[in-house]
């Protein structure tokens, strides 16, 4: 029976801060599959057969990766568990190239959202919402969950984020002024709900409604949507914020490291490596990297 092993593994990982919702379900599915085969220990062949049930190569690799991590845990106490080889390749495919908005495109998007013509409150809400995403780099879910008590003199308190941690996001004075102008109307519109952003029905915004408003505003603003090119999405506003922040990084190795760590913390990334990915996002950043590498090679101070 592998079910107790799976549960003890999940308990340990969750105590380390991992949610493991989908992975937990997958491992319970594997334990049931292995029990049906009569396996008392993790069997590499059984794990491969179970992983093959995935519908895509990446899904099969991910399923097998779950079992590999479980087996490493199990083999610490019992080497009878067989460690499956990663025959399906990498669990993660290449990240898509992000769409980075120019300052003019951000301005056009916010202006388009303010004139969608659906309803005055609808337009005000979404123009403010998109402007806040653009100037803070918040995740969509974080902005939707904002409440009045999260707005402090020091900035926005982002509670229980993607990785279960809270963080403070400072606001530029212009961003704070724009948010305050919105809140004057907001408190009158739905006084009995404490969410910062609410719909026409005076309920918290839904992801689907925000995405719909974004695509309407993007079409009105004329953001390009061409084959073989990245397409603008709501997450593009977060990508754009991160890239523009990196473009202002000081030209000094120690300062660069401090800048990256600060930006990673600001964005709420679980690992600084997720922030380094943005270095590949624009020609400007790639050119800066190439120039600094060249200066380093020829002996100049990096």
SS3 164: coil
Q: Which of 266, 233, 236, 234 is nearest to 248 (CA)?
A: 266
Long-range CB pairs of 7-11, under 8 A, 24+ apart, other chains included: 9/70, 9/73, 9/74
Neighbours of 175 (CB within 10 A): 18
Long-range CB pairs of 147-150, under 8 A, 24+ apart, other chains included: 147/194, 147/195, 147/196, 148/183, 148/194, 148/196, 149/194, 150/196
Angle of the 21-36 helix axis to the 44-51 helix axis, nearest 10: 120
| Active site residue ranges | 139, 162, 235, 238, 269, 278
Output b/e per residue, 152-166; b: 16+ Cβ within 10 A.
Answer: eeebbebeebeeeee
Sign of the Cα pseudo-torsion (136, 141, 144, 148, in order):
negative
Cβ-proximal residues to 6 (8 Å cutoff; 6+ apart), any chain:
24, 27, 28, 30, 31, 70
CA dihedral 150, 137, 191, 111 (to 10 degrees): 150
Output b/e per residue, 59-93; b: 16+ Cβ within 10 A.
Answer: ebbbbbbbbbebbebbeeeeeebbebeeebeebee
């Amino acid at each position: 029976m592998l079910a107790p092993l799976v549960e003890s593994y999940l308990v340990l990982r969750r105590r380390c801060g991992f949610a493991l919702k989908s992975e937990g379900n997958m491992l319970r599915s594997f334990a049931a599959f292995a029990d049906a085969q009569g396996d008392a220990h993790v069997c590499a062949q059984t794990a491969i057969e179970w992983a093959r049930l995935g519908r895509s190569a990446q899904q099969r690799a991910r399923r097998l990766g779950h079992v590999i991590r479980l087996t490493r845990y199990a083999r610490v106490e019992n080497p009878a568990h067989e460690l499956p080889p990663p025959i399906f390749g990498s669990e993660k495919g290449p990240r898509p190239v992000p769409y980075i908005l120019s300052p003019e495109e951000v301005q056009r998007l916010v202006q388009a959202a303010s004139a969608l013509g659906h309803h005055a409150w609808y337009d005000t809400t979404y123009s403010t919402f998109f402007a806040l995403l653009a100037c803070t780099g918040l995740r969509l879910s974080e902005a939707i969950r904002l409440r009045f008590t999260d707005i402090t003199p020091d900035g926005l308190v982002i509670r229980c984020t993607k990785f279960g941690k809270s963080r403070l996001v400072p606001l530029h004075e212009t961003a704070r002024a724009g948010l305050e102008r919105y809140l004057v109307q907001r408190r009158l519109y739905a006084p009995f709900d404490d969410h910062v952003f609410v719909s026409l029905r005076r309920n918290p915004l839904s992801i689907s409604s925000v995405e719909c408003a974004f695509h309407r505003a993007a079409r009105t603003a004329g953001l390009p949507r061409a084959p073989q090119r990245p397409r603008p999405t709501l997450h593009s506003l977060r990508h754009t914020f991160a890239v523009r922040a990196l473009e202002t990084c000081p030209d000094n190795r120690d300062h660069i490291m401090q800048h990256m760590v600060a930006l990673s913390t600001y964005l709420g990334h679980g690992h600084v490596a997720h922030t380094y990915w943005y270095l590949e996002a624009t020609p400007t950043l790639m050119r800066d990297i190439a120039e600094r590498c060249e200066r380093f090679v020829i002996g100049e101070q990096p």
